[in-house]
Amino acid sequence: MASPTMLVIRLRTILFLLIVGFLSFSAADDVSRDDDDAPKYANCNNTFDLVKVTYWVDGIESGTITGMTARFGAILPTRADKASRLPAVFTNPLNGCFNSTSKLDQSVALSVRGDCTYTNKAEAAQSRGAVALVIINTEEDLTEMVCSDNDTVSIAIAVVSVTKSGGDTLNKSLAAGKRVELLLYAPKRLPADFSVIFLWMMAVGTVVTASLWSDLVACEQNDEQYNELSKESGTGKNDSEDEIVDITIRSAVFFVLSASVMLLLLYFFMSSWFVWLLVVLFCVGGIEGMHACITGILHRTCRNCWQKTVKVPYLGENSILSLSVLLFCVAFAVWWAVTRQASYSWIGQDVLGICFMISVLQIVRLPNIKVATVLLCCAFIYDIFWVFLSPYIFKQSVMITVARGDKAGGEAIPMLLRFPRFLDPWSGFDMIGFGDIIFPGLLLSFSHRFDKANKKGMASGYFLWLTIGYGVGLLLTYLGLYLMNGYGQPALLYLVPCTLGTAVVLGFFRGELKDLWDGYLGSDSYRLSSPEA
């Protein structure tokens, strides 16, 4: 029977993996999209492009609102210096369904959504001499403005939708009698941004660091104990072994199925309170991971710093240094949670996320390639289905919708590594899901332990080649991201063949595939396979 400590670790690990596992994709924020569900007709087949609506109040530049173009109408310039700065005027009536009594010549007409079709509003504004039409939505999103099948479209002006809050900002200044001017343009996103290089380095660095962590920070005595695993089943286990959870075939399949259920729950019931729940869970995992990483480094560098202890209610006797580190980690996580909407919040999110993943990869391990094959193949199918195939059932990609927080007011899920696109006119972030690091990381960690136990060198081992394969797989992911104009990619589509495939091919040609399959860790014929596997 498992010890209480082991049961707690197993439950904690399953909980954390269910939370992080459903996010396994790489993406960039979308600037343009071509929604197949939005109807297209002759003269009504434009793509939906994001628009920058820069506004001036009484001649002073006051800000920029984000909008989106319609299926119909003129194409906006891509650069601000090619666009014209024009006065904004509300139509009369405000719904813009009939010829306006307001003077719209050489101006940007403003109207509210509703009461008639978008094309009717555009034709009415165009007939009164407007250069462009901005339609204010009644909700906090950008509506896809399309034509109906019986519309005869002949719109020569640009038509843009903005959110309710954006319209309220313009209305406030106009209602106060101030002069408001607008400049509309739709900048294109750069084909590539150097941010992907840093994201690639973070992902590869996290996997390598997690795999080598025990060598980097563990005490020599513990390393020796770990490598001298018992040759007799059920005897000779040390404390460090009790803190390890070996994945079995059964738990691998169960995990992927549970992750799918979690993903669907998030898709259907995602809300601001659900995001807060995930933020709290992310902070708990981040605090634990950050504390483990910092204390591990301090243990290695200053072993005498842990002698002073103090008794704390519910926590028992702990070293003062460990409690100080814990308080720092809690303060760091709270700071991130409070400022997570700020432009710099990605730094705290990445630090907490990387520490968390390093901690998870120390607790959860693959015993052999057999279990790795089941887990990664299931994750491979899971990733492809929820990114590419789910739109055929749910009308949109479930994975991408959940990750971007489309149903939670646009607040993204925290279980991502992010890096800002500094050269992008739209800013935004490139991102990668935790699953794309943890799943391959489990395999790379196993390969390192296999090499170490069998005393293999860098070239003759597996860890180096799997690390290279992981890096190449990520590069292929970003290539797919580029070729598909920023549409989210199921990264495991590329990572699984480049890592698991590399291990299997190398093992086959070296005649060691059976050892890898059984988890052979040395000449003592010990195998790491769990009995359940």
Q: Which residues are catalytic?
A: 383, 436
Closest CA to 83 of 67, 101, 96: 67
Element (H, E) at 194: none
User: What tokens were used for 79?
Assistant: 């650069």
- 263, 359, 477, 513, 516 from 363: Cα distances, Å: 24, 7, 28, 25, 21
User: What tokens were used for 372?
Assistant: 């790795």
Closest CA to 490 of 376, 375, 383, 382: 383
CA dihedral 94, 100, 104, 110 (to 10 degrees): 20
Please name the residue that has the structure tokens 């202890």.
309
- Chain-centre distance of CA 374, in angstroms? 24
- For the chain, the distance separating the N- and C-terminal CA atoms, rounded to the nearest angstrom, is 17
Dihedral pair phi/psi, residue 260, rounded to 5°: -65, -40
Angle 31-34-38 from CA coordinates, rounded to 5°: 125
β 132-136/48-57 pair status: unpaired
Element (H, E) at 187: none
CA dihedral 350, 353, 359, 363 (to 10 degrees): -150
Closest CA to 99 of 109, 107, 87: 109
Cβ neighbours for 106, distance < 8 A, ≥ 6 positions apart: 86, 87, 129, 131
Closest CA to 438 of 504, 348, 375, 521: 375
- 301, 312, 325, 331, 398 from 305: Cα distances, Å: 9, 18, 12, 22, 49
